[in-house]
Amino acid sequence: MTTNVPLRAFARNVHSQNGEDGIIEEILKRLSRTSPVDNWCVEFGAWDGMHLSNTYNLINAKGYRAVLIEADKNKFRSLCQNIPRQDVYKVCQFVGLEGDATLDRILGATPIPADFDLLSIDIDGCDYFVFDSLQQYRPKIVCIEYNPTIPNEIEFVQPKDFKIKQGASAKALTLLAARKGYSLVAVTLTNLIFLREELHDLVAGPQKASLEALRDDTPYKTYVFIGYDGTVLSNRPQVAMPWHGFSPDLRAFQQLPRMLRKLPSDYNLLQKVLFAFLLATKSPGTLKNQIRAKSKRMS
């Protein structure tokens, strides 16, 4: 049975970034054998409709109707030129969490059915909150961007502020999806792909895979620990900042100058004076507590 073949085996790019096109196509193929699909999809931010798109392959090669949402006016003009079809509804608007800007309201102005096939969310920040806000529509598949630098066990969600661009962890999004009735079926380098709970067995079989089984987060685990002498140590000399294109040196985390990286009991008089000055500068409360504790021992 094809449900025994992991979906990641079908990863391939037509216009997507990390294999999403092939995975989504295979999910829809498996679904269509026993459950009706309606050939509708939604994507935001949609850029020019083609660039790193998770929906353009469906629109262009499979005849899908769509709602494509892009707030940037220049990108939106390109979107309209690239996909002039009348059954692809193009919206130049920021998706928000209140009033007419909610995804529910935007979709409500189009003829898209409530259980359309695919929703792709990629807005580099408040993706979590937009997914959470969706109430009136229950897409069969949700493809949503996560922050891949965050290890699987971390539950992190950025503040609910569209000006902040930090994203959410895979764990946080998986927990949210479960509350909304979705199961995780595939993970790519940048996207989590969820399926409505009642459709899971049709696509992936009765056994549900965990986030840990679907995603190897080893390349993103950085451990920071402290030596007895106060040296800040790590399992990696550098950490990657993929969106900025460089890797900062973890030596920047050092809090003690080299001459003070010893056990405090091994300090000579000069080092004790320098350490006291350092505490007075960086942590005056700690210095006061140490002086108070020493006074009690002497009294």
Task: Determine, yes or no, domain membership for 260.
Answer: no
Residues 88 and 192 occupy one common structural domain: yes
b/e per residue 85-107 (b: at least 16 CB within 10 A): eeebbbbeeebbeeeeebbeebb
Residues 93 and 165 occupy one common structural domain: yes
Residues 226 and 283 occupy one common structural domain: no
* The pLDDT value given to residue 186: 97
Task: Determine, yes or no, domain membership for 126.
Answer: yes
* The pLDDT value given to residue 131: 97
Residues 100 and 227 occupy one common structural domain: no
DSSP state of 241: B
Show the tokens assigned to 9. 């085996």
Show the tokens assigned to 131. 């997914």
Domain count, the chain: 3
Residues 278 and 136 occupy one common structural domain: no
At 236, the amino acid letter reads R
Expressed as residue numbers, the domain containing 249 is 222-255
Task: Determine, yes or no, domain membership for 146.
Answer: yes
User: Is the per-residue pLDDT at 298 higher than 60?
Assistant: no
**Residue 196: CB atoms within 10 Å:** 20
The CATH number assigned to the domain holding 41 equals 3.40.50.150
Where among 217, 247, 275 does a domain terminate? 217
Give 288's pLDDT tier (boundaries 50, 70, 90). low
Residues 145 and 251 occupy one common structural domain: no
Rounded to an integer, what is the distance from CA 204 to the centroid of its chain? 23
pLDDT tens across 190-199, in order? 999 999 999 9
Task: Determine, yes or no, domain membership for 212.
Answer: yes
Task: Determine, yes or no, domain membership for 69.
Answer: yes
Give me Rg for the CA atoms of the chain: 25
pLDDT tens across 204-254, in order? 999 999 999 999 999 888 888 899 998 888 887 777 778 877 777 777 778
At 90, the amino acid letter reads K
What CA–CA distance (Å, rounded) separates 39 from 37?
Answer: 6
Residues 33 and 131 occupy one common structural domain: yes
Q: What are phi and psi of 194, to 5 degrees?
A: -110, 155
What CA–CA distance (Å, rounded) separates 147 from 125?
Answer: 9
Task: Determine, yes or no, domain membership for 40.
Answer: yes
Residues 61 and 77 occupy one common structural domain: yes
Residues 32 and 141 occupy one common structural domain: yes
Task: Determine, yes or no, domain membership for 37.
Answer: yes
Where among 217, 245, 275 does a domain terminate? 217
Show the tokens assigned to 103. 């995804």
Residues 291 and 158 occupy one common structural domain: no
Give 291's pLDDT tier (boundaries 50, 70, 90). low
Task: Determine, yes or no, domain membership for 261.
Answer: no
pLDDT tens across 110-124, in order? 999 999 999 999 988
Residues 111 and 190 occupy one common structural domain: yes
Residues 185 and 279 occupy one common structural domain: no
Give 67's pLDDT tier (boundaries 50, 70, 90). very high
